[in-house]
Structure 1
């Protein structure tokens, strides 16, 4: 069979299913993306690049900018599909990540080809991420902007034969009339790769290029794609003065890029990292706070494996892979008591839950984890067990692959 995956980033959520399908010599697998990521290679998966340089006109309607970009991406996706067909590659199924627009015209380019949509989020102005901060006011402009974003997603919901999304919480955000078209299937965590270290290996300490923490026995970690309020970066930083004061031997490692992936940049300009460092200027112990930037996968795993207290905070939004990867490594987890987290973490059993907005609660939980490692051991084991039983790649991958194969065979056409 011939499989076409479409995602702006390679390989993203499709890494494992694409690799598994490509293992069969009877299959041809093409992955279309805008960012080819040369450091990522999957055996027998052919990468093709597509994209557009379109920018919405400055005199266009401000509520149409997002939709116009999505349409431009959709046009590029359409042209890519037609070029593949002309080159002799007509896919039996297309699997595409929805929301960017790239899959908007897939059914027009390939009217006889089943389309499996991968959905992460449906935007609601109430009850989730928007307006979660009591200090924020949801404006009419915001509400209208969310509808234009949802228009792109609704297009794909209508076009797909079946959709996939990773958690029950994320599924609950979609209109009820579409939910019977959505299969809740997490991508899966590679629990062999993200596994706890032995006591001997942990004793060696963490050494990264340019940063030797081998002598550090109390390591606090925070990992994120971007440093932003959506992932509780300001609250984490505000917890540092107390952590550094109460745990004078502790070092803090912040993994992630100095950018905003979700939400807005600071009103005063600059980045959230710069804003928070300015607020903490003069705080004793800040020399023990290290920013690594983005890390290669192997080094990122080492950070998690050596952590003595990993902090994961999120608004009621998409659940990050990083939380499950940390749990798979058996890390003492301190996480926000928000809906996506509470679907996985039970306070006192497989992690500690804290008020998202309380820097004191975050600091107290971190200090508790550092000062009572024996008390954390049962929670660490339960965290690992949770991922093994509910999110293990080994358990979930066969079903995720079968969903795509079933779609290719026309089993969801009745939907």
Structure 2
């Protein structure tokens, strides 16, 4: 079978699916992307990179106001059309099925090139002015300009929902955001968690990262936090306020923060970052709060295996892989009392929930786990059991594969 995968940043959500499909000798797998985020490739996956948009196109996008996301999707979709025609003409490749992320326009026009080829879309998020990620709490009130902008962000998502033959979305929370008219097209199937890689050590170790001169012996209390960027969407300011409380009471506790000082989700700050803002608030103990930057997978595993308490906070938005991986590592976790977390974590059963915007409550729940190691061990074990039952990689890959086969004539 000829399988075409589409995602602007290789491999994206197809990190596991692409090599899984390619290991089947019956399949030929081609992947089109704008860039290669991991700087390597998978065995038997033919990767093609299409051109970045021209400066003229990028300047046009900037004039589009609320339609900017749709304009960017149009440009990306046009680049994919050119690439599909090139594959057909130069590589003699025609897909039997197309699987693609719908968020940036990659799948927007594939049905205009291949109207009879089934399209299986990955649908990550549908925007709402109320009761979603942007304005969730009662004191958050959108302006009419906010409402117009947020509604318009869904333009290309709606086109994709109309054209796809079937869609996948990773959680029930994300599924619930999509219009009821289109929900029958969608299946809730997560990408899957590699529970073999993300497994606990036999005994919680210390942590040594030579390049950062971090050498914490076995038995050290280590609080961990992981995010691609430091932003309000993932609760970074609240976490920093919470650990100031905790460290003030626990002189031997250390904090490991993995991520970049940037904003991936939500409004951008002008002339500053959230980490820089923490300096203005009084800073933090630089001898015990360690910012590691983004780490390779081996270091990431060492960090989470050494965690005494992992903290994951998010607005009501897309659920992070890092949260589920922390559960798979059997970390005792404090998670935000928000719908994406509550779908997976039950308070007192496989983790502890805290108010997203209350540093005091976050700090208190962290200390509950640090003070009661029997509780921490029980919750961590239950967290891993949840992942093995509901998110184990091979189970999720087979569900995606079954859906793909159901579409092919």
Same fold at TM > 0.5: yes
Matched, 1:152 2:156: yes
Matches within 5 A, 1:185-196: 185-196=189-200
Matches within 5 A, 1:15-164: 15-50=15-50, 51-53=52-54, 54-57=57-60, 60-86=63-89, 87-133=91-137, 136-164=140-168
1:288 is matched with 288
Matched, 1:215 2:217: yes
- Cα distance in 2 for partners of 1:280, 1:81 equals 54
2:382 is matched with 382
- Cα distance in 2 for partners of 1:136, 1:184 equals 29
Deviations 1:33-72 (Å, cap 9, x if unpaired)?
1121353321111111123232143883412222211111
Matches within 5 A, 1:238-277: 238-266=241-269, 269-277=271-279
Secondary structure of the residue that 2:60 maps to in structure 1?
A: coil
Structure 2 residue corresponding to 1:237, chosen from 240, 252, 260: 240
2:174 is matched with 170
Secondary structure of the residue that 1:221 maps to in structure 2?
A: strand
Secondary structure of the residue that 1:405 maps to in structure 2?
A: helix
1:413 is matched with none
- Cα distance in 2 for partners of 1:353, 1:252 equals 19
- Cα distance in 2 for partners of 1:95, 1:208 equals 41
The answer to whether the 8 A contact 2:62-2:68 is kept is: no
Deviations 1:90-119 (Å, cap 9, x if unpaired)?
111111101211211111122221111000
Tell me the CA shift for residue 300 of structure 1: 1.2
The answer to whether the 8 A contact 2:332-2:351 is kept is: yes
Tell me the CA shift for residue 210 of structure 1: 2.7
Deviates more, 1:113-122 or 1:366-375: 366-375
Matched, 1:183 2:184: no
Secondary structure of the residue that 2:15 maps to in structure 1?
A: helix
Tell me the CA shift for residue 179 of structure 1: 0.5
The answer to whether the 8 A contact 1:6-1:95 is kept is: yes
2:404 is matched with 404
Secondary structure of the residue that 1:349 maps to in structure 2?
A: coil
- Cα distance in 2 for partners of 1:405, 1:114 equals 10
Secondary structure of the residue that 1:228 maps to in structure 2?
A: coil
Secondary structure of the residue that 1:100 maps to in structure 2?
A: coil
Distance 1:249 1:197, change over 3 A: same
2:12 is matched with 12
The answer to whether the 8 A contact 1:56-1:69 is kept is: no
The answer to whether the 8 A contact 2:207-2:303 is kept is: no
2:322 is matched with 322
Matched, 1:228 2:231: yes
Coordinate RMSD, CA, aligned: 1.6
Deviations 1:369-395 (Å, cap 9, x if unpaired)?
122222211111100100000111122
Secondary structure of the residue that 2:194 maps to in structure 1?
A: coil
Q: TM-score, normalised by structure 1?
A: 0.93
- Cα distance in 1 for partners of 2:34, 2:213 equals 33
* Structure 1 spans left out of the alignment, 5+ residues: 411-415
Tell me the CA shift for residue 134 of structure 1: 5.1
- Cα distance in 2 for partners of 1:119, 1:57 equals 26
Tell me the CA shift for residue 333 of structure 1: 0.3
- Cα distance in 1 for partners of 2:229, 2:24 equals 37
2:298 is matched with 298
The answer to whether the 8 A contact 2:135-2:141 is kept is: yes
- Cα distance in 1 for partners of 2:208, 2:374 equals 21
Q: Number of residues paired by the alignment?
A: 404
The answer to whether the 8 A contact 2:206-2:306 is kept is: no
Tell me the CA shift for residue 9 of structure 1: 1.5
* Structure 2 spans left out of the alignment, 5+ residues: none
Distance 1:58 1:313, change over 3 A: closer
- Cα distance in 1 for partners of 2:230, 2:190 equals 25
